[in-house]
Amino acid sequence: MRYQSKLAAASALVAAVSAASNSYLGFNSGSTLATREAKFKADFKSEFTTAQGLKNAPGKFNAVRLYTNIQAYSETDPIEAFEAAIETETYILLGVWASGTDSISKELTALKNGLEKFGDDFAKLVIGISIGSEDLYRAGATGVKNKAGVGAGPEAIVDFINDYKKTFADTALSKVPIGHVDTWDAWTNSSNKAVVDAVDWIGVDEYPYYESGEDNEIENSGYLFDRAYNATLAAAGGKPVWVTETGWPYIGEDWDEAVPSVNNAKYYWQEIGCRQLFNKVPTFWYNLRDSNPDNEMKFAITKDLSKTPLFDLTCPTKFQTSYTVDGDDNDDDDSNSNSGPNSTDTSSTAMSKPTSSMGSTGPDESSPSSTNPTSIPEDNDSSAVGNVMSWSAAFGAVVAALYTL
């Protein structure tokens, strides 16, 4: 039994490293529309088709991150995104909603029903599963201060992870890499280390736009993102880090020094997406279209799912964010000398998303408990150093796990 347990853990970690090396590109997708109506297969299919056909995209956006396995306004029906993904060959990062409940049995039943209905056609598209989304943030001091809603503590998340493992131990999803998605300051909080230890990969949601008091104008967004991302890498202990939400609104209210606009959304796409993430890190951008009517800030890069986005998605060859790697300064544009991501100070609590205008489940997330709801230029590869180190450490962890069998 001990041998089988360690072999399963090592296999899952291998799968997580493999998924990370594939550097999937995708968007997030909730279970309901902006009208609060349920999404059905046709709605998801339209999203996935648009994502794969975006004009001037820096790669193929053929993956989706879901927040729940449950079809909106049902109890245990599998979400119709599953069938839409099969028909469009879209890879799936599954999601299990874990806040405000002491059981994820309905989530697991819906997923089991989906697996039984669609079989290997579905299972082969699953690249990972996230047990929970920002639960640790909502349950922590920062989330309570921001009135973020009901969350879940580390013990509950670990228990839910074990519930998933037991339920799908002898199925086609048994080796799917298991992760958890949260804010970067939740990951750097040592009280949540049990979750870091329990997962195969770590998902981080990061929005420099919401970082009040942190000089959060658009020109500083690259530095703020890098600081959070590097701090998450350090907390991950060598496990792969996936960026599961990030983006900049094109419309809405100013947030301290952050200003929503199409031009700023384009700048953020270039400085964070093109410079740091696309084709380097599994990335799920926020977002293709908006679905949260409670959030005044709108993040969609398209209007009415047009394949011609609100701004040109072409990646530039030079960037304005400067960075520091191992003490060496590297500047693509000396005219903008923002300091590099060489600080991992996690004392600020402004990094987390407030909920006064975003809702308790984050932007565009539909809580099932309440609604049932081309290549990157090689001359700027600052993140490659950190990523190579991260993947190497993860590979070492795999070897170590196999060695101790």
Per-domain residue ranges of the chain: 2-403
pLDDT at 162: 98
Q: Is the peptide bond before 22 cis (omega within 30 degrees of 0)?
A: no
- Summarize pLDDT for 243-297 with one digit per residue, the tens: 999 999 999 999 999 999 999 999 999 999 999 999 999 999 999 999 999 999 9
Judge whether 224 and 216 are in contact, CB under 8 Å: yes
Specify the residue for token string 């696309």: 278
pLDDT at 17: 60
CA–CA separation, 242 vs 392, rounded Å?
15
CA–CA separation, 64 vs 80, rounded Å?
13
CA–CA separation, 210 vs 249, rounded Å?
10
Judge whether 99 and 150 are in contact, CB under 8 Å: yes
Strands 63-66 and 323-325: unpaired
Helix (H) or strand (E) holding 66: strand 63-66
CA–CA separation, 136 vs 160, rounded Å?
13
Angle between helix 382-403 and helix 2-22 axes, rounded to 10 deg: 160
> What is the identity of the amino acid at 7?
L
pLDDT at 11: 55
Helix (H) or strand (E) holding 203: strand 201-205
β-pair partners for 178:
129
Judge whether 390 and 241 are in contact, CB under 8 Å: yes
Judge whether 268 and 248 are in contact, CB under 8 Å: yes
Judge whether 278 and 316 are in contact, CB under 8 Å: no
pLDDT at 109: 98
Specify the residue for token string 């890498």: 233
From the centroid of its chain, how far is CA 14?
Answer: 20
pLDDT at 388: 36
Tell me which CATH code domain 2-403 carries.
Answer: 3.20.20.80
Nearest to 156 by CA among 95, 235, 93, 101: 101
pLDDT at 383: 35
β-pair partners for 256:
none
Residues 6+ positions from 367 with CB-CB distance below 8 Å: 67, 97, 99, 100, 360, 361, 373
- Which residues form the catalytic set? 134, 245
Max CA distance (Å), the chain: 60
pLDDT at 322: 81
- Summarize pLDDT for 293-309 with one digit per residue, the tens: 999 999 999 999 999 99
Judge whether 161 and 181 are in contact, CB under 8 Å: no
pLDDT beneath 50: ranges in the chain: 1-3, 5, 324-352, 354-364, 366-405
DSSP one-letter string for 220-251: GHHHHHHHHHHHHHHHHTTS-EEEEE----SB
Specify the residue for token string 């997330």: 365
- Other Cβ atoms less than 10 A from the Cβ of 393: the count is 16
Classify residue 269 by its DSSP letter.
Answer: I
**Token couple for 35:** 């009208």
CA–CA separation, 301 vs 377, rounded Å?
22
